[in-house]
Amino acid sequence: LKDEMKNEVAELKKQGVTPNLTVILVGDDPASRSYVRGKQKASDYIGIESNLIELSSETSQNELLKLITQLNNDPNVHGILVQLPLPDHINEQSVIEAISPDKDVDGFHPVNIGRMMTGQDTFFPCTPYGIIQMLKSKNIPIEGKHAVVIGRSNIVGKPVGQLLLKENATVTYCHSRTKNMEQFIATADILIVAVGIPHFIDGTHIKPGAVVIDVGVNRIEDGSLTGDVEFASAKQKASYITPVPKGVGPRTITMLMGNTIKSAKNNL
Ligand code: NAP
């Protein structure tokens, strides 16, 4: 995918447009810094111009909103991404809503979420869209399948369920108040786990042959990263399973690159 995007960017450059992704990082959270580095590396590979604006954790919400307005008005900027989480004194939703929907390459703005819900083409949230692309690239059928999504966050759970529905799956959402979750897991043809608890699910209840997508990224005591799914036992049951790390994560970044290119094309 990245090589295809590289070619697309080369074509755009011939037409005088260099896709630009501007990332704003507030504060010095090591995990956020590492995600931002990953995004810059992918941008460099594909030929997307990436600007990183680093702000101190003391930055006020107003200062951040003013900066976003400037970037909204800058015709050379095609994608604006504010790395989350933000310091506690800044309201994340206000920041998300300040980004122009036309430059919202994360796909978090309510306008873009509304477009997605109503079946319009838009910037889809990167992790959910990456999951759909991954299933399609592996020729995994979605239509008519029972997809169970554990987690209902605005950035992963809810949108991945919507995109699965768009692909004609029958979708069940599970969350912290779901009772007897095992019964849903046991009937899932496609199981998406986005909870944020290490090894929340093991192979016990997984339906033989199910497709298991582990979205969780959890740092455990020994410093390593692990998913929400206990890989070894789940692998015994699954026909296809994503590892953590190097599973869903890299796709997320690639989708972000795709959205930035799409935005640049919209400006031709
Ligand atoms: P989040 O906002 O914390 O949402 C977690 C969801 O899990 C909530 O809907 C919550 O239910 C549900 N949950 C929590 N405890 C549960 C339980 N005991 N039983 C059932 N459901 C439970 O997290 P998120 O942002 O969606 O992220 C989830 C995970 O994915 C995290 O590990 C995160 O790091 C990872 N992630 C990875 C990528 C990637 O690119 N690979 C991208 C984004 C996130 P309630 O709504 O009822 O509270």
Quick check: is 133 catalytic? no
Q: Which residues contact 195 (CB under 8 A, 6 or more apart)?
A: 150, 151, 216, 228
Q: What percent of the chain has pLDDT over 90?
A: 98
Say how far apart CA 70 and CA 225 lie, in whole Å: 37
Which helix (DSSP H) or strand (DSSP E) does residue 55 occupy? strand 49-55
DSSP state of 229: B
Q: Say if residue 98's pLDDT is above 90.
A: yes
Question: How remote is the C-alpha of 59 from its chain's centroid?
Answer: 26
Quick check: is 121 catalytic? no
Span 71-97, average pLDDT: 97
Q: What is the pLDDT of residues 41-57, one digit of tens each?
A: 999 999 999 999 999 99
Closest by CA to 33, choosing from 21, 43, 23, is 23
Span 61-71, average pLDDT: 98
Span 97-105, average pLDDT: 98
- Using DSSP, state whether 190 is helix, strand or coil: strand
Ligand 1: residues whose CB is within 6 Å?
127, 150-153, 155-157, 174-178, 194-197, 215-218, 248-249, 252
Range name among 31-40, 59-68, 257-266 with the lowest pLDDT average: 31-40
Q: Residue with the nearest Cα to atom 12 of ligand 1?
A: 151
Q: Supply the pLDDT for residue 268.
A: 86
CB 138 within 8 A of CB 184: no
Closest by CA to 42, choosing from 89, 5, 87, is 5
Q: What is the pLDDT of residues 144-162, one digit of tens each?
A: 999 999 999 999 999 999 9
According to DSSP, the residues that pair with 193 across neighbouring strands are 150, 214
Neighbours of 82 (CB within 10 A): 24
Q: What is the pLDDT of residues 112-125, one digit of tens each?
A: 999 999 999 999 99
Please state the pTM of the whole predicted model: 0.95
Q: Supply the pLDDT for residue 225.
A: 93
Work out which ligand 1 atom sits closest to the CA atom of 252. 40
Q: Residue with the nearest Cα to atom 5 of ligand 1?
A: 195
